[in-house]
Structure 1
Amino acid sequence: MKVLAGVLDTPEGRAAVDAAAEAARVREGELLLVVYVPSPHDSQASRSFGSEMDAARQRAETVAAPLRERGLTVSVHAPVGPVSASEAILRVAQDQAVDLVVIGLRRRSRVGKLVLGSNAQDVLLGAEAAVLAVKAGADD
């Protein structure tokens, strides 16, 4: 079984990775971690894109290392191109034939959802695989 989670340094992101790691462990599966860096829109931004992508991959490898030490098979994926965070997750999920996508949720107002959109909603509606939505613990 392949289980996917995005790497985001927030309580919700950490909860998603923890739940995905547990699902992969219980099912003796593989954990896929996705990192996302917005593509540059101009030449000035494109100069720093490579270093931002390297930093994002390094953060994901830092998350992956202790999971590998516990015996999990973990791979890091960093899709490149003009995609949103949800599109990056959906692209990797489809390309890698993922069985379960784990996302972290946070509470937002109705206006916040309307104005800002929702990556979680996009993943829930767009994923071909099952989706598990988790919330961060009260102490996070």
Structure 2
Amino acid sequence: MTVLVAYNETPQGKAAFAAAVEESERRETNLVALVLTPQPNDAPIPSQLGALISAHGKDVDVSFRSDKIDVADAILDHAERIDAEIIVLGARKRTPVGKFLLGSTTQRILLDASVPVLVIKAGE
């Protein structure tokens, strides 16, 4: 089984990665990072993610989201593909208008995931 972290280069992504490392160590399982910024799969690992991987000393498989699939679908599909036992996401605060006008990726994942989802807020 595997821990999947949905990663982007934001404070939320950094917090989610740290939580995913802890979760994978607690569960004694693999860690997979899905980079949400669309890139070809042979792209280099983003610099901030590379630094986080080095700092935590954890082997991490890294994949990239295709620009042909939306974020929530990419996360859900990847979780299914790798047989993830948990999905770790970073979250940010949104205004009431933002919640009304924009669909929530986090909400879609929480409702549609077939495995538990751990949502982490970044420190402010």
TM bracket, shorter-chain basis: 0.7 to 0.9
Asked whether the equivalents of residues 85 and 115 of structure 2 are also in contact (C-alpha less than 8 Å), the reply is yes
Task: Output aligned runs, 1:1-140, within 5 Å.
Answer: 1-38=1-38, 52-53=39-40, 57-59=44-46, 62-63=50-51, 65-66=53-54, 70=57, 72-80=58-66, 82-138=68-124
Q: In 2, Cα distance between the equivalents of 1:19 and 1:82?
A: 28
Structure 1 pair 91–63 and aligned structure 2 pair: CA distance change class (3 A): farther
Asked whether the equivalents of residues 36 and 56 of structure 1 are also in contact (C-alpha less than 8 Å), the reply is no
Asked whether the equivalents of residues 57 and 78 of structure 1 are also in contact (C-alpha less than 8 Å), the reply is no
1:97 Cα shift? Answer: 0.7
Asked whether the equivalents of residues 7 and 89 of structure 2 are also in contact (C-alpha less than 8 Å), the reply is no
Structure 1: gaps (5+ residues): 39-51
Asked whether the equivalents of residues 40 and 66 of structure 2 are also in contact (C-alpha less than 8 Å), the reply is no
Q: In 1, Cα distance between the equivalents of 2:10 and 2:27?
A: 26
Higher helix share: 1
Deviant stretches of 4+, over 4 Å = 54-57
Q: Percent identity at matched positions?
A: 34
Structure 2: gaps (5+ residues): none
Q: In 2, Cα distance between the equivalents of 1:34 and 1:54?
A: 10
Letter in 1 for 2:103: G
Q: State the TM-score, normalizing by the size of structure 1.
A: 0.76
Q: In 2, Cα distance between the equivalents of 1:73 and 1:111?
A: 40
Asked whether the equivalents of residues 3 and 98 of structure 1 are also in contact (C-alpha less than 8 Å), the reply is yes
Instruction: State the secondary structure of the residue aligned to 1:80.
Output: coil
1:56 Cα shift? Answer: 6.1
Instruction: State the secondary structure of the residue aligned to 1:58.
Output: coil
Q: In 2, Cα distance between the equivalents of 1:26 and 1:87?
A: 27
Deviates more, 1:76-85 or 1:98-107: 76-85
Q: In 1, Cα distance between the equivalents of 2:19 and 2:54?
A: 15
Q: CA RMSD in A?
A: 2.3
Q: State the TM-score, normalizing by the size of structure 2.
A: 0.85
1:55 Cα shift? Answer: 9.0
Higher strand share: 2
